[in-house]
Chain A
Amino acid sequence: DVKVTQSSRYLVKRTGEKVFLECVQDMDHENMFWYRQDPGLGLRLIYFSYDVKMKEKGDIPEGYSVSREKKERFSLILESASTNQTSMYLCASSSPFYEQFFGPGTRLTVL
C-alpha cells in the first residue's frame, strides 16, 4: 500500500513563527503536492514538485515556500506564520498523470 505520512496531525504555532510541515512518501513517486483545505473553499493547491529540487507554484503560493531535497520528502515552509494560514494541510504524491495518494493531514492553528 502507498504510504504518505505527515510529521504532525495537529500543530499550534504563534504569529510570526517559522513553521515546517514535512511529508514523506514510500512509493518512489516523482510528483508531490501540498494543498490546504478550508471550509467552503475546498482543497486548493499551494505547490507542486515533479522532481527533486523542482517545484511549481499552485493556485495559492503566497506566504509559502517548499523544499524537495530528496525524492521521498517534500516540505512546506511558512516563513512567518499568520492567523489566516490556520488550516488543514494535506500532502499528496503520485506517479506522473496517475492518481494522487494523500496523507492524513496536519491541522495547523496559528494564534
Chain B
Amino acid sequence: DAKTTQPPSMDCAEGRAANLPCNHSTISGNEYVYWYRQIHSQGPQYIIHGLKNNETNEMASLIITEDRKSSTLILPHATLRDTAVYYCIARMDSSYKLIFGSGTRLLVRP
C-alpha cells in the first residue's frame, strides 16, 4: 500500500469549506484513496473513497488529481462537530488492510 502524507494540523472557521490535502505520489493503479475521521474518544468513521474520479456523498467531496498523486477532501460547510483527526489511506482493491498514518487534526473554530 502506498504511503500517504498529510499536514499534521489545520483549522477553519465554522460554516466555511475545509479542504484537507493528501499526498500519495507512489500510489499504484489499483489502489483506492480512502478517508476516515476520528472524533475524540470514538472509533474511526468512514467518510468517502475513490479511485480516479471525483466523488461526492452526503458528508464530503473527494477530488483526486488526474495523475492520482494527490487528493483533497472537502467538507463544504464545516461545523464544530467536524473537529476530528482525518486520515487519508491508500488501499489496494484486493487488500483488506487499512494502514492508518498520523492524519490531520482539523480544528473548526466558532
- How far is A103 from B94 in the complex, measured between Cα atoms in Å? 23
Is the CB–CB distance between A42 and B96 below 8 Å? Answer: no
Least Cβ–Cβ distance between A44 and chain B, in angstroms: 8
The distance in angstroms between the C-alpha atoms of A45 and B95, with both chains bound, is 13
Give every chain B residue within 8 A of A62 (Cβ-Cβ). none
The total of chain B residues at the interface (CB under 8 A) is 17
Chain A neighbourhood of B95, CB < 8 A = 97
How many A residues touch the partner, as a band?
Answer: 20 to 34
The number of A-B residue pairs with CB atoms under 8 Å apart is 40
Would you call the interface of chain B mostly helix, strand, loop, or mixed?
A: loop
Judged by DSSP, the binding face of A is strand
Q: Is A48 in the interface zone, CB < 8 Å from B?
A: yes
Q: Which residues of A contact B (CB under 8 A)?
A: 4, 31, 33, 42-43, 45, 48, 50, 90-92, 94, 96-97, 99-105, 107
Q: Which 8 pairs between the two chains have the least Cβ-Cβ distance?
A: A102-B43, A43-B100, A99-B46, A42-B100, A102-B44, A105-B43, A90-B43, A103-B43
